[in-house]
Amino acid sequence: MPAAVAAEKTAMFTKALARLPAADATSDADGTPSLYWVPGRVEVAGKHTDYAGGRSLLAAISKGFAVVARTRNDATVRINFIFIFSPTLYD
């Protein structure tokens, strides 16, 4: 992986971790966050045919998004986007 791509991913994870609330009584287990990288994709051929049973030709790209998660012991899901300033809550 090129250094520039690694630096970009590191910056995304750093921002996402900064937005993750601190572990508290709602956190499950030790409260350690899990980190996931979801690569972007380019659709070369087959747009709008894959869901109809057709074929698509896709390629993963270095752009994507970082997911940082911590399990909770209640039924709340909080989603924070690093480019949106208020959290979205789901119960």
Query: Per-residue pLDDT for 89 more than 60?
Result: no
| pTM greater than the 0.75 cutoff | no
Asked if residue 57 lies in contact with residue 43, where contact means CB atoms within 8 angstroms, the answer is: yes
19, two tokens: 């937005």
What does the domain layout of the chain look like in residue ranges?
3-90
Beta-carbon contacts of residue 42 (< 8 Å; ≥ 6 apart):
58, 59, 61
From start to end of 1-91, where are the E strands? 34-45, 57-69, 77-79, 88-90
Residue 65's pLDDT is what? 81
pLDDT in tens, 32-67: 788 888 888 888 887 777 778 888 888 888 888 888
